[in-house]
Amino acid sequence: MLNETSTSAQSGSVPAQARIIDLAEHGITADKIGENARWVLTRLEESGFEAYAVGGCVRDLLLGRKPKDFDIVTNARPEEVKRLFRFSRIIGRRFRIVHVIFHGEVIEVTTFRGGDADQIARGSEGMITRDNVFGRIDEDVFRRDFGCNALYYHPGREQIVDFVDGVADINARRLHMIGDVTTRFAEDPVRMLRAARFAAKLDFKPTAEVERGVRQCRDLLTQVAPARLYDETIKLLQGGQGVASLFWLQRLDLLEPLFPELDQALKKQPEGIERALIDGVLQATDNRVANNLPVNPAFLLAGLFWRRLCAAREHWLVQRVPPDDALILAADEVLAQAARNVMIPRRLADIIRSIWALQSELEHHCGQTGQRWRVVNADNHTSTMPPENLTEAKWFRAAVDFLCLRAQAGELSESVCSFWRQYAPERGAQDEPVVAALTAEDFGKGKPRRRNRRRSRRRG
């Protein structure tokens, strides 16, 4: 644990009010920063600019975790950064950043943000709509969200720069907002979802001010673009701490602005089959992430809304709608409700429909007579093998996994799962993924960029 009483000092161009933490205290050597990130930092400094590793990577290193990626902040403007790195591009309009591209890695480089509020474009509720106001490091720190994410690391000096007692927050496992809580949430309501994500991911406890601010500002999430809410929701539930993330979404009253029907159902019946199924799907996803296996949002979302689908389908069946049509109408209704606030890409919705549709097929073609399994085919003949067209269905494996989670939750007999496991054994770490990961194009994020044929170890 770091010493929280380090004295302030001035090093290089760092303002005197910053607390400088040396290697002897924090223990992070320069080689802990990724090779590509170090190269970008060195290139910026050799060109006369300030540059630091910042944010989550510094926090994770202090916690003894391996950072997923490395972000860099500098006083170089986006155009200046782009000129330094041949394989780079400027992205974003709300706040422009530079992606420096390497083989298999992208280093994100941002410019210090300034504190001139008059130059920042805001919406009617205070949401920042354009934020290309640049400044100094001592201004940039107060534009960041939580203290634990506001630490700057200089690999050349092997020092951490701490303006806001971020180290104290990490030592206390505390999620503390920089600045006025309601103002910061109004600037970017997605910060409320980030609070839930960091609480789950890091096992940090939000301060009382953060919890009160979230409950006060949560309705502002309706102003966020549905596509952005989708991205943030998937980060929450599919980041490896899905069970804990759902806990924090409910504790902070954030599930209602995302999925109101689901929130009402879980409040009405906090325990039971629906909750058991959702927890099972989230835990299965967490397990796959822990084993470095691909996961697909369709499987997760199919579990979140399954019981809504069953209720909607029953409504149409009571109206004497044929079963297949009832399923189609119910799926349309449930997915439309879910997508009101959080966008669900069409490709994803199609996979969800397939998993749902296969559930009734799996149940229909499986029965039990005494202790002997029988499979009822379309011509009413029985056999010991399921119909070939069913086992070869594209999402058969995922549907069987989902069926078994339903059985685990108590919705079906475990014997139904046992039967279908003969044709779709559980996957191990060395097997193909249950559900293949979708491509960026599948999620509506544009066509893949053309590859440059030239090969080199470093592209930046």
pLDDT in tens, the chain (460 residues): 444 433 333 344 566 588 999 999 999 999 999 999 999 999 999 999 999 999 999 999 999 999 999 999 999 999 999 999 999 999 987 789 999 999 989 999 999 998 654 444 444 554 544 456 889 999 999 999 999 999 999 999 999 999 999 999 999 999 999 999 999 999 999 999 999 999 999 999 999 999 999 999 999 999 999 999 999 999 999 999 999 999 999 999 999 999 999 999 999 988 899 999 999 999 999 999 999 999 999 999 999 999 999 999 999 999 999 999 999 999 999 999 999 999 999 999 999 999 999 998 898 877 543 333 444 444 444 445 566 678 888 899 999 999 999 999 999 989 889 889 888 777 654 444 444 344 333 434 444 444 444 444 455 5
Question: Catalytic site residue 263?
Answer: no
- Domain span at residue 236 reads 179-258
Q: In this structure, are 294 and 417 located in the same domain?
A: yes
Q: How, if at all, do strands 105-111 and 71-74 pair? A: parallel
* Cβ neighbour number for residue 173 with a 10 Å cutoff: 13
Give the per-residue pLDDT at 432: 41
Please count the structural domains in the chain. 3
N-to-C CA span, the chain: 35
Q: Is 225 a domain residue?
A: yes
Q: In this structure, are 245 and 201 located in the same domain?
A: yes
Domain edge (last residue) among 172, 204, 221: 172
Give the per-residue pLDDT at 460: 57
Contacts of 292 (CB under 8 A, 6+ apart): 429
Give the per-residue pLDDT at 388: 66
Q: In this structure, are 24 and 168 located in the same domain?
A: yes
Q: Is 448 a domain residue?
A: no
Give the per-residue pLDDT at 364: 80
Q: In this structure, are 117 and 155 located in the same domain?
A: yes
**Amino acid in position 113:** R
Question: Catalytic site residue 219?
Answer: no
Q: In this structure, are 236 and 331 located in the same domain?
A: no
Sign of the C-alpha dihedral computed for residues 319, 320, 323 and 328 taken in this order = negative
- Torsion, Cα of 342, 360, 427, 279 (10° steps): 50
Determine which one of 131, 145, 286, 401 is catalytic.
145
Determine which one of 60, 71, 286, 401 is catalytic.
71
Q: Which two tokens stand for residue 44?
A: 């910026």
Calpha distance 239→68 (Å, rounded)? 11
* Cβ neighbour number for residue 88 with a 10 Å cutoff: 21
Q: In this structure, are 319 and 246 located in the same domain?
A: no
Calpha distance 132→121 (Å, rounded)? 9
What Å distances lie between residue 402 and 109, 313, 360, 398, CA to CA?
41, 18, 12, 6
**Amino acid in position 444:** G
Contacts of 203 (CB under 8 A, 6+ apart): 173, 244
Q: In this structure, are 293 and 406 located in the same domain?
A: yes
Q: In this structure, are 158 and 26 located in the same domain?
A: yes
Q: Is 243 a domain residue?
A: yes
Domain edge (last residue) among 116, 138, 172: 172
Q: How, if at all, do strands 51-54 and 71-74 pair? A: antiparallel
Q: Is 450 a domain residue?
A: no
Place of tokens 């050799």: 46
Determine which one of 69, 253, 263, 442 is catalytic.
69
Domain edge (last residue) among 202, 226, 258: 258
- Which of these, 102, 82, 94, 98, lies nearest to 39 by C-alpha position? 102
Q: Which two tokens stand for residue 107?
A: 């280093």
Q: Is 357 a domain residue?
A: yes
What residues does 374 pair with on adjacent strands?
367
- Which of these, 253, 69, 40, 256, lies nearest to 156 by C-alpha position? 40
Q: In this structure, are 225 and 300 located in the same domain?
A: no
* CATH number where 315 lies: 1.10.3090.10
Q: In this structure, are 102 and 193 located in the same domain?
A: no
Q: In this structure, are 77 and 163 located in the same domain?
A: yes
* CATH number where 148 lies: 3.30.460.10
- Contact in structure between 61 and 69 (CB atoms under 8 Å): no
Q: Is 102 a domain residue?
A: yes
Question: Catalytic site residue 71?
Answer: yes
Q: Is 443 a domain residue?
A: no
Q: Is 414 a domain residue?
A: yes
- Tell me the three-class secondary structure of 191-202, residue by residue: HHHHHHHHHHHH
* CATH number where 223 lies: 1.10.110.30
- Torsion, Cα of 30, 35, 40, 45 (10° steps): 30
Q: Which two tokens stand for residue 195?
A: 């609070």
Q: In this structure, are 46 and 164 located in the same domain?
A: yes
Q: Which two tokens stand for residue 353?
A: 């429909």
